[in-house]
Amino acid sequence: MKHRFSNRLALQSPRCVACCLAILFGMMLLTTAPAEEPLAVPEAVLQAERQRIAAIELAKPTAVSVFVPGGAGGGSGVLISPDGYALTNFHVSSPAGVHMRCGLADGNVYDAVIVGIDPVGDLALIRLLGRDDFPAATLGDSDKLQPGDWCFVVGNPFLLASNLQPTVTWGIISGVRRYQYPSGTLLEYANCIQTDASINPGNSGGPIYDRDGKLIGIVGRASFEKRGRVNVGVGYAISINQAKNFIGYLRSGRIVDHATLGATVVTGPDGGAIVSNILESSDAFRRGLRYGDEILELAGQPILTANDFKNVLGTLPKNWRVPLVFRHLGETIETIVRLPGVHLEDELLEKMAGALPPPPPRPQPLAPPKNRKENRPTAISRSPGKPCQETKNHSRAVRAVRNLIACRQRSTHSTPRGGRTRIISPINSIKRKSGPPCRPVCRQSRLTNNGC
């Protein structure tokens, strides 16, 4: 068997050598062949790339990185006017209280203050201070968006913009006229925009632009993977057309509320928005709207389902007068109704207080010690029969300052043995009332580099 195997291997060896030589010769030919010319990129592709870069460069200066004082979080925003007005989310600005710090892509940080808030629609208007020539975004028309349109998001995800350079993510419009239910009656997202551009914690309050760099919405929500705060490609933005309805109220410094019709609507078995309940005190009831009527149009927008009704109504401020078209007993009625608010004023404030996180702690300025004379610590008082205590007017910070002053003003003299030094503190010379003496600030100890 070994003899036959060796003979067969000897017969196949020349063939193997020939195959190897052929492969090597082919590789040599490939390496020595002249290089082909680079593939030509179509001009349409190059033009789209140039347009995308130009749009991003136009939009980046208007993006705002929001930082809450005390390190209690932050988010994003967008400038909408040269005098410093910027839009962000209510849930981004609320932890900051009335002021915050905002950074721009130019590398500068500005103080900002709250101007107006919309807790129902999750919007807040802030104003950056210090300039009157801020770069401002151009407002687009979110009603013209269609699924598949290009868009991009600029913001501060995970507060990564420590160098104030925002993060840009590119995607498409995945859906329009989405409705996201509120938390109770706050943070309602009506007629919002859905996108697959990456949105993560920290992008909240930031801008979403169309392919031309026009502002079309304010990012606010995203769907995340259950096991972690990781984007799964479904994000939502408040439409800029909704923000336009509220900007005037927000500039006046108000806490604004959204509108209601005073009626609830369900989608009928054959389609259509059917009134399922209505308040007799509402203006719509006075205009003839009744249970079982079908709403055809609201504020000039066609209403085909209950979702359409909520999307239109959720973008309107309270007390607006809007046209209403409905069908009552087969008759089409056109009228104008005044929309009341979702909340009473006190009710809205109470719900806001319950929804807001506690404000971050603010550092208190260090108060100088009182009754200081010649840089000496203040007097110490004691009550008879009790250990020596400081007066109630002194805080822990004041005690620390006094101890430091006492240690620095110590006078020393050397002793002949052990290298020990007695540190005499000025506090030892303070007059006290009768009773056991207080413990001195610094007692006998070895001298170290750190002093007492």
423-445: pLDDT as tens digits:
333 333 334 444 444 444 343 33
Dihedral sign for Cα atoms in the order 224, 226, 230, 232:
negative
**Which residues have a Cβ under 8 Å from the Cβ of 1 and sit 6 or more positions away?**
none
pLDDT of amino acid 342: 93
Query: Which segments of the chain belong to CATH 2.30.42.10?
Result: 263-341
Q: Quick check: 217 and 193 in contact, CB under 8 A?
A: yes
Question: The tokens of 172 are what?
Answer: 């498409």
The active-site residue out of 93, 204, 239, 282 is 204
Each residue's pLDDT tens digit in the chain (452 positions)?
444 544 544 445 566 666 666 676 666 655 554 556 778 889 899 999 999 999 999 999 999 999 988 777 889 999 999 999 999 999 999 888 888 999 999 999 999 999 999 999 999 999 999 999 999 999 999 999 999 999 999 999 988 888 889 999 999 999 999 999 888 888 999 999 999 999 988 999 999 999 999 999 999 988 876 666 667 889 999 999 999 999 999 999 999 999 999 999 999 998 899 999 999 999 999 999 999 999 999 999 999 999 999 999 999 999 999 999 999 999 999 999 999 999 987 888 888 877 666 555 555 666 666 655 545 444 444 444 444 443 343 344 445 445 544 544 443 344 444 444 333 333 333 344 444 444 443 433 333 333 33
Q: Which of 65, 76, 118, 122 is catalytic?
A: 122
Superfamily of domain 263-341: PDZ domain (2.30.42.10)
Q: Determine whether 204 is an active site residue.
A: yes
pLDDT the model gives residue 80? 97
SS (H, E, C) the chain: CHHHHHHHHHHHHHHHHHHHHHHHHHHHHHHHCCCCCCCCCCHHHHHHHHHHHHHHHHHHHHEEEEECCCCCCEEEEEECCCCCEEEECHHHHHHHCCEEEEECCCCCEEEEEEEEEECCCCEEEEEECCCCCCCCCCECCHHHCCCCCEEEEEECHHHCCCCCCCEEEEEEEEEEEEEECCECCECCEEEEEEECCCCCCCCCCCEEEECCCCEEEEEEEEEECCCCCCEEEEEEEEEHHHHHHHHHHHHCCCECCEECCCEEEEECCCCCEEEEEECCCCHHHHCCCCCCCEEEEECCEECCCHHHHHHHHCCCECCCEEEEEEEECCEEEEEEEECCECCCHHHHHHHHHHHCCCCCCCCCCCCCCCCCECCECCCCECCCCCCCECCCCCCHHHHHHHHHHHHHCCEEEECCCCCCEEEECHHHHCCCCCCCCCCCCCCCECCCCCCC
Q: What pLDDT does residue 25 have?
A: 63
Q: Is 293 a catalytic residue?
A: no
Looking at residue 162, what is its pLDDT? 81
Q: Are 396 and 406 in contact (CB under 8 A)?
A: no
Cα separation, 201 vs 102, in Å, equals: 17
Which residues of the chain are in CATH 2.40.10.120 domains?
54-251
- Confirm if 74 and 202 have CB atoms less than 8 A apart: yes
**pTM for the whole structure:** 0.70
Residue in the structure block whose two tokens are 């507060």: 159
User: What is the Cα–Cα distance from 7 to 236, expressed in whole angstroms?
Assistant: 75
Q: Which of 94, 68, 82, 85 is nearest to 125 (CA)?
A: 85
d(CA 340, CA 275): 17
For residue range 163-218, what is the model confidence (pLDDT) as tens digits?
Answer: 889 999 999 999 999 999 888 888 999 999 999 999 988 999 999 999 999 999 99
Pick the CATH number of 54-251 from 2.40.10.120, 3.40.640.10, 3.20.20.80, 2.70.70.10: 2.40.10.120
Catalytic residue at 91? yes
